[in-house]
Chains A and B, each alone.
Chain A
């Protein structure tokens, strides 16, 4: 479905060394799947995501969605392709002086739906999908973060896209709200068969939602594995960055020793040990448990 072929993106600043944000990335994302992209800040994951809809045009390489080479498109053709690619952001990026309904209608307006009544109907439908119809006449400032993100999802969905790009969609949200938003993304993926690409620095998000995960470091995809592996006992990523991200732990070196690449290994190994001792309860934050959390959330929301 989405195919990234040797994609590289270099930012050239005058008088400075050019920065390679994305370095020769090739990635195949099957239709209808949820692809996680994980890495630290500056790993190039957001740039890679923005390469897909050409918000950031790759310096070299090709991006394909279905039979269309996105990187070959310009202006009008690119805009039309973008109508089929929804996107949500960490900061929600809503228009603050428009109501919730007007925000959702915006994507329909931009995609060329001229009939006002149809725009209104389809916006209402999209808001229904994320259960936020009752806020249709409110302004973004009157909503919580989770509600804003749901409006953003509705806005992205209203045009019935084939692809939904998610740029750190839950990084500004608390864990409970995160679970709610992820549940909606999972539902949308299942119900509409939309291919979802989600960028995050939280392995929990990947674990809960993704089918496959690509680990990025210094602009490269250093490791890929099925997200289901994360639920498998004794699973260990092959790269140190992968292990560190799986450990999901924040560690502060209070002794004041220099933090090096090796420190990641130590931390990751420490956590592995910890997980080894943790017993079955700790080891089974597996599919069932995640789903049951969501079931509870879902029950509460709907």
Chain B
């Protein structure tokens, strides 16, 4: 217990690093992944504006990035990381691979969210003479909003876990903290404390996400 208290300042810093990584990577993934997800939906062979060849290329890139084990992706894109943030170590450097990995992950989820809506409202909108942009803004994103919020929650939780692996580039974070002190130094109590913090963090994210998603969902009679 004393050991846990002794490590508390370190743990607080590690938690701050995790929050920083997730706080930057997830919003970026949402910002970039959402349009990609919508694009994948629209241009699919069965979509509103089918472009099968380009779709196959984009879909292939998304699949390729998603196929990489995270640890290998992390190392493979080090030159790119160097180019973007000017360094390959530290929390800032860890954000780059996390984001790169999260973008296609989130894009696929958004694509699913929209595909599952069914085509009824889109068809009605086409009959009303709506442009594609109007359909996306006023129909697809509106009806998919609760599901997309659910996807943000899932992505956040997954990447809290992924962020534990960025210790390899000195990224820090609560997961890396647990590995460093708890696993390598056999400080079991410290490891357990770190895991409890992670459980609390994940639970809070999931609880908040579910709540917001439900609040925005009007598809079920209240």
Contact = CB atoms under 8 A, between A and B. Distances in A.
Interface of A: 53, 55, 78-83, 85-87, 89, 91-98, 106-107, 109-111, 139-142, 152, 155, 159, 165
B10 interface: no
B1 interface: no
A21 to B, nearest CB: 16
Nearest to A96: B219
B104 interface: no
B120 A89 contact: yes
A83 B143 CA distance: 23
Given A110-B134, A141-B218, A141-B219, A93 B120 contact: yes
A110 B218 contact: no
Contacts of A80: 129
A165 B217 CA distance: 30
Interface in B102-133: 120-121, 123-131
Q: Which of A82, A97, A106 has the most CB of B within 10 A?
A: A97
B142 A53 contact: no
B127 A109 contact: no
A159 B127 CA distance: 12
A94 B136 CA distance: 15
Majority-rule SS of A interface residues: mixed
Contacts, number: 83
B123 to A, nearest CB: 6
Contact of B221 (A87, A141, A165): A141
15 contacts: A78-B129, A81-B129, A82-B128, A85-B127, A86-B127, A87-B124, A87-B127, A91-B120, A94-B124, A96-B121, A106-B139, A111-B128, A139-B218, A141-B221, A142-B221
A95 B129 contact: no
A77 B220 CA distance: 38
Contacts of A85: 127
Interface string B195-222: 0000000000000000000001111111
A182 B143 CA distance: 29
A106 B218 contact: no
B162 to A, nearest CB: 31
B43 interface: no
Contacts of A107: 128
Contacts of A86: 127
Nearest to B129: A82
A171 B145 CA distance: 30
B13 interface: no
Given A141-B221, A142-B221, A142-B222, A95 B142 contact: yes
Nearest to B122: A93
Nearest to A112: B129
B129 A141 contact: no
Interface string B152-170: 0000000000000000000
Given A80-B129, A82-B128, A97 B123 contact: no
A55 B123 contact: yes
A289 to B, nearest CB: 34
A159 B125 CA distance: 13
A53 B127 contact: yes
A81 B138 CA distance: 20
Contact of A97 (B131, B219, B222): B219
Contacts of A165: 127
Given A98-B142, A111-B128, A89 B219 contact: no
Contacts of B145: 97
Contact of A95 (B127, B143, B146, B222): B143
Question: Shortest 4 CB-CB distances between A and B: which pairs?
Answer: A82-B129, A93-B124, A93-B120, A79-B129
Contact of B123 (A89, A109, A139): A89
A110 B120 contact: no
A165 B126 CA distance: 13
Q: Which of B121, B138, B143 has the most CB of A within 10 A?
A: B121
A94 to B, nearest CB: 7
A83 B128 contact: yes
Contact of B121 (A53, A95, A141, A159): A95
A106 B138 contact: yes
B142 A97 contact: yes
A76 B52 CA distance: 24
A43 to B, nearest CB: 20
A110 B120 CA distance: 16
B217 to A, nearest CB: 7
Given A97-B142, A141-B218, A142-B221, A106 B123 contact: no
B143 A97 contact: yes
A96 B143 contact: yes
A97 B221 contact: no
Contact of B138 (A95, A140, A152, A155): A95
A92 B219 CA distance: 14
A91 B121 CA distance: 9
